[in-house]
Amino acid sequence: MDENQEVLEDVGEKIAEEDMLHHDLLGLFDELSPKEKFNKFVYGLSQPRDSGAYKWSHLQMIRLFAPASAVIIPLVFFALLMVLAGVQQKSSKQVNVKVKEEKQVEKLDEKIEFEDEPIEPPEPVEIDFVTDQQLSVDVQSPVAPTAEVSPMPAAMDTVAQIKSPVKMRGIFGSRSGGARGAALKTYGGSGITEGAVLRALRWLKLNQNEDGSWPKSKSAMTALALLTYLAHGETPASEEFGPTVEKAIKYLVSTRDATGGWPRSYQHAICTYALCEAYALTRVPMLKEVCTTAIDIIINAQNPTGGWRYSFKPPDQDDTSAMGWCAQALKAAKMGGIKPPKMHDSIKLAIMGFQRNADPRGGFGYTSPGRGGLTGVGVLCMQLLGAASKSECKKGLEFLDTWTYNWDEPQGRSPIYYWYYITQAKFHSGGDRWAKWNDIFWKQLVKNQLIDKDAIEDVKGNLKAIGHWESPAKAEHNGGNIVMDTCLSALQLQVYYRYLPTYKKDATLEEDDADFVENEGDLDIEIDI
């Protein structure tokens, strides 16, 4: 056993020695010079693959090329991807394009022909609208407010301290810059109508007196001009027209009499109307006190039958023309959050007053039932006061369908005054009635605006076109009042965005609406007083 074990050990030692020589394991511990390493490396590559010399050379190759491979291989792979991406074809899509023919725009300087419509002429004496002479008479309003008031309850400088822009929404929302464009597009206006409006606003600015008023019947004309600026969303904060608006507001507030109002019903109603809108758009606290007093005067002067007349001395006849301005003042006060206790009853009574002057066949008269130009007054005011569904209003609209808008052959002796109301009444009615009227009226107004392109330059030296209107009827306003003609015409072209149409939700005053909330969710105004 011992001899066999020794033989086996000798054989094992020989095999291990041969393996060490074959695999050159001891050579791993040799210290070689670079030249010797190179020679050994070359020699090893020529040896059998299972030999130690080959494995050593192979190991050295891996050690030498591994770092370079770590950099080169990703670069080669990335370059390959770039080449593949470059040769890949992009998918294309074929689109069919249809070329529309250019639309021919109608030239406004050409005469526009309209079909003749059978109409019933207005009564010989249809309107006794306030004249320049009447407005200049110094008649003190006999109706005083229940409490003693000061003509100037707060410093007028507060009007000028509006710093930040005014944000409007709800029923006034269409008057802001961006919303105006949307309303113009929705209801049939355009850049052409807006151009005419801006020319009128610049003409009014140029012709404003230093004290903030406009010539002839100063209070009434200043109120109409202020309404025209407010309809365009202009306030004392406006860049171009801010000072003009501010001076107009100051003038109206400063010219009140001891009662807190203005002489004669027309002046008082129009001034109240304008300042109530100014308060609704600016929320200047001083104006609220002024408007509350002014509305109280209108309510206290109302006839038991529902109307008003020049004298403001009830009882008197219900004058549809005077009633129109009082009703519009009530509407503006309601929208502005002015809420005297008697307003709800006054609105209901005013509707009855218009009904008294309504003709059963359709139409409204002056101080009794009739069928003439004052039909537009009755229809519009019933719409604004929430009575658009009444038969008198519907029949009045049907009668107005027989009226035309023809500058060359105007109907009645006060066509611009009539058109001011008729245009709004048809707008609030909407539908085909409005579409047909709109297709005619704006072209007539734009075409007949008197334009002077060289009258004024802006601060940069650029000429700005300005323009105004003069009534086609010589008898209008007893010989003409260019400020009134211009304001009433511009207000017609602002109908697209001035108010929401009454057929829209929340645009009217409901008859049974007894609760008046301060802001009614209509306004979102940021001012710095």
Per-residue pLDDT, 23: 52
In sequence order, the 6+-apart residues with CB closer than 8 A to the CB of 438 are 187, 188, 426, 427
Domains and CATH numbers, the chain: 32-61 (no CATH), 155-498 (1.50.10.20)
Radius of gyration (Cα) for the chain, nearest Å?
Answer: 44
Q: How many Å apart are CA 391 and CA 325, to the nearest integer? A: 22
Per-residue pLDDT, 187: 95
| Contact of 478 with 225, CB cutoff 8 Å | no
Q: Which residues of the chain have pLDDT under 70?
A: 1-31, 56, 65-66, 68-69, 85-173, 462, 503-529
Residue 226 CA: distances (Å) to CA of 166, 216, 442, 484, 510: 16, 15, 22, 12, 27
With residues binned 3-state (H G I as helix, E B as strand, rest as coil), the percentages for the chain, rounded to 5, are 55, 5, 45
Number of Cβ within a 10 Å radius of residue 304: 10
**Token code pair at residue 140:** 């003190």
Per-residue pLDDT, 169: 46
**What is the per-residue pLDDT across 469-503, written as a single tens digit (0 to 9) for each?**
999 998 898 778 999 999 999 999 999 999 888 76
Q: Three-state SS for 298? A: helix
Q: How many Å apart are CA 182 and CA 501, to the nearest integer? A: 14
Q: How many Å apart are CA 327 and CA 70, to the nearest integer? A: 90
**What is the per-residue pLDDT across 6-22, written as a single tens digit (0 to 9) for each?**
655 665 566 555 555 55
| Residues 524-527: contacts with CB under 8 Å, at least 24 apart | 524/167, 524/168, 524/169, 525/166, 525/167, 525/168, 525/281, 525/282, 525/283, 526/164, 526/165, 526/166, 526/167, 527/162, 527/163, 527/164, 527/166, 527/237, 527/282, 527/283, 527/284
